[in-house]
Amino acid sequence: MHQQADRPAPEPVTILSHGMLGYGFPLASLEEAERRGFGLVAIDAGSTDPGPYYLGSGRPFVSETMVRRDLDLLLPAARRQKAKVVIGSSGGAGTAAQLEFVVSIVRSVVAERGLGPLRLGTIDSELSKEALTQALAEGRIKQFETRAELTQDDINAASHVVAQIGVEPMMAALADGCDILVCGRAWDVANVAAWPVLLGHDRGLAFHLGKILECGGQAAVPVEGSDLLMGRLAADHFVVETPHARKACTVESVGAHTLYEKSNPVWLPGPGGTVDLKQTRFDQLGSDRVCVSGSRFHPAPRHTVKLEGARLVGYRHVALAGIRDPLMIGQLDAIAQGVTERLVANLGPSVPREHFDLRFRFYGRDGVMGPFEPTPVPGHEIGLVIDAVAATPGLAETVCAMARSLTLHWAYPGRIATAGNLAFPFSPADLPAGPVYEFSIYHLLELDDPVQLFPFKAEQIQ
């Protein structure tokens, strides 16, 4: 999609991006960004990377203290710059409860800092089971990368289901005059691109810039913790730069982030279409900036958004221990199997085997990669995690405690000690880890209107 020949070129827009709300950033980077000037603060506040717990439970991923710290710096800076603020994937997974968590902090910071009056917009992207059931009946939910068809049972079992909205719902709220826009689950790119696209900028360039800025300072080197990043979008190119005095954006670092979390190097799919990167150019400007041009956007024949859902599968109890006996280290698999068989026998028919899951993770051998570990050579000591998941918290505790006790006293060939086999760093040795969720919905929802299911709400705050 290119700028129309009979339409005047849009004014350049400068975006300041924070890659994860609550992860922090150097104050000096913000001060330098203010010196350079910006018209939009784009903030990503979530991801599926931490796993399904935050989507399933609806609990925030980052602490209130750190979210408040970041907003306490960014919101006053945005007001001084007369810049828009767009926050996406609030609270981690973007559920309605997590959205309200971030909105409440925004309201508090605005009041405490005297930033009003301003117009605050919110977009809830969590979908009801009724809406999903209707879409399923109408044939508008399609399988995605899992190749699994969605069923009504999947919908019924889900704790929360969110849609990864694109730029259109955000553009509707920004067109209404919202100064700060806080959204539920959203395409990371949309936080950056919605305002520029509303101003008339090319979607291919705006979306590609969003892809690079989505993680903040990760596209600058050296990468050393969370930081800010800036992008300057013009009619036919954009420039990526870092406000950090000791970092630089290079062709390699910016190009690498273009490839980040992508299965295809030249296609960037998202809600409403695909960015074509086959003709993209990366040019170094000086020692620390990169100019990008040539990215194009191809609209999809049907607008889709990705659905993400999670369901409760049980409750977890864990025990942590260390093992240093080389004879035991050489027999870990046999010991784990023997302990499991004895535990199942001890529980007997009153506790069906399918009501619990027991796993032993051996760190120092293959705790990270499991059966895919290419060099499972144990060291002189092993960190053991006993992981019990069961239908109830009580059963999970029982399974974990039994497995810990059996492993502690298990007799194995060559064993000399009459005391315990394990060294425990904590007392109690067994710790409850709460409810356990799994991703259960990962599908595409077809929409005739990309805004209808995701209307914005606006309020005037002082």
Digit-coded pLDDT (tens) for 51-89: 999 999 999 999 999 999 999 999 999 999 999 999 999
7, pLDDT greater than 80: no
Q: What is the mean pLDDT of residues 18-39?
A: 97
pTM, two decimal places: 0.94
What pLDDT score does 63 carry?
Answer: 95
5, pLDDT greater than 70: no
What pLDDT score does 382 carry?
Answer: 97
Output the DSSP codes for 62-108.
S-HHHHHHHHHHHHHHHHHHT-EEEEESTTTT--HHHHHHHHHHHHH
What pLDDT score does 376 carry?
Answer: 87
How far apart (Å, rounded) are the C-alpha atoms in residues 380 and 65?
40
b/e per residue 312-323 (b: at least 16 CB within 10 A): bbbbbbbbbbeb
Q: Classify residue 413 by its DSSP letter.
A: T
Percent of the chain with pLDDT strictly greater than 70: 98
How far apart (Å, rounded) are the C-alpha atoms in residues 148 and 12?
44
How many Å separate Cα 66 from the centre of its chain?
A: 17
Instruction: Give the model's confidence band at 261: pLDDT under 50 very low, under 70 low, under 90 confident, else very high.
Output: confident
> What confidence tens digit (pLDDT) does each residue in 182-233 have?
999 999 999 999 999 999 999 999 999 999 999 999 999 999 889 999 999 9
Q: What is the mean pLDDT of residues 309-337?
A: 97
Instruction: Give the model's confidence band at 424: pLDDT under 50 very low, under 70 low, under 90 confident, else very high.
Output: very high
How far apart (Å, rounded) are the C-alpha atoms in residues 290 and 43?
21
4, pLDDT greater than 70: no
**Residue 164 burial (10 A CB sphere; 0-12, 13-18, 19+):** buried
What pLDDT score does 417 carry?
Answer: 81
Q: What is the mean pLDDT of residues 39-54?
A: 96
Q: What is the mean pLDDT of residues 357-370?
A: 95
What pLDDT score does 6 carry?
Answer: 62
Instruction: Give the model's confidence band at 134: pLDDT under 50 very low, under 70 low, under 90 confident, else very high.
Output: very high
